[in-house]
Amino acid sequence: MNAAPIILGMSLKMYFGQRRTLDWCREVASAIARHPAVLEGRVELFLLPSFPLIAPAQEIFSTTPMRIGAQDLHWEDQGAFTGEVSGALLAEMGARYAEIGHAERRRLFGETDETVALKTAAALRNGLTPVLCVGETHQGSAEQAAQACLAQLESALTEAQRQGLHGEVILAYEPVWAIGAAESATPAFIAEVCDLLRTGLSNAGHRARIIYGGSAGPGLLSRIQDSADGLFLGRFAHDPRAFASILDEVQLR
């Protein structure tokens, strides 16, 4: 068994409305309150709901180890940025994580390496753990994938390094070609990429843990074994029973 807990993070994206989000939270809160993997401290949990539901989600999970974060943040802490949410506000609300650089943000909203670096710095500046999404656009070798991810990480940390900011980063490896696909990348491919990433992180002296996203769901954790530190779950965790089955996999490792 690993000494460090397995990370299970979930982003609800924009799939749920208010009622369904809160119903989901209540059902999951009930499941984790009694699950052995949670009670034994074998799992680290975080949830990224829509901005307006951060506070009610925190209330529902207040007696559990589930921590709440945001799916995005602005790179400035305050100012005339209509419709945006700052890391300072998120931290004041008690959020613990901020997702940064998802492929959808880049594709749909024009986010660049520069904005990702600014947002990473904003998260660290406000005591939030960046959940930094990295991944190759096209399917190729594991070596090519790892090189692309490490280059994205180095780029994302440039502004934080310039400001002298430090802190742990959770590296969410999500091959862009696997996002939304019927199945994830193969377990062997995921394991090889994660092993290469771990070596690269160690050589560069970065504090980061690696979780796999990209159509991650039930059955995957037991197949990738110890190559990743956990999973970043999306639509395959929309059914609370599916999430509970992933907790069962944690218990069996």
Q: Is 111 a catalytic residue?
A: no
Q: Is 143 a catalytic residue?
A: no
Question: Could you tell me the mean pLDDT of each successive run of 10 residues in the chain, 253 residues long?
Answer: 81 96 97 94 96 98 97 98 98 98 95 98 98 93 95 96 95 86 79 93 88 81 85 88 90 77
Q: Which of 35, 74, 102, 111 is catalytic?
A: 102
CATH class of the structural domain 6-252: alpha beta
pLDDT at 210: 95
User: What residue segments make up the domains of the chain, in order of their start?
Assistant: 6-252
- Classified as helix, coil or strand, 70 is strand
pLDDT at 178: 79
pLDDT at 207: 84
CB crowding 212-247: b at 16 or more within 10 Å, else e: bbbbbbbebbeebeebbbbbbbbebbbebeebbebb
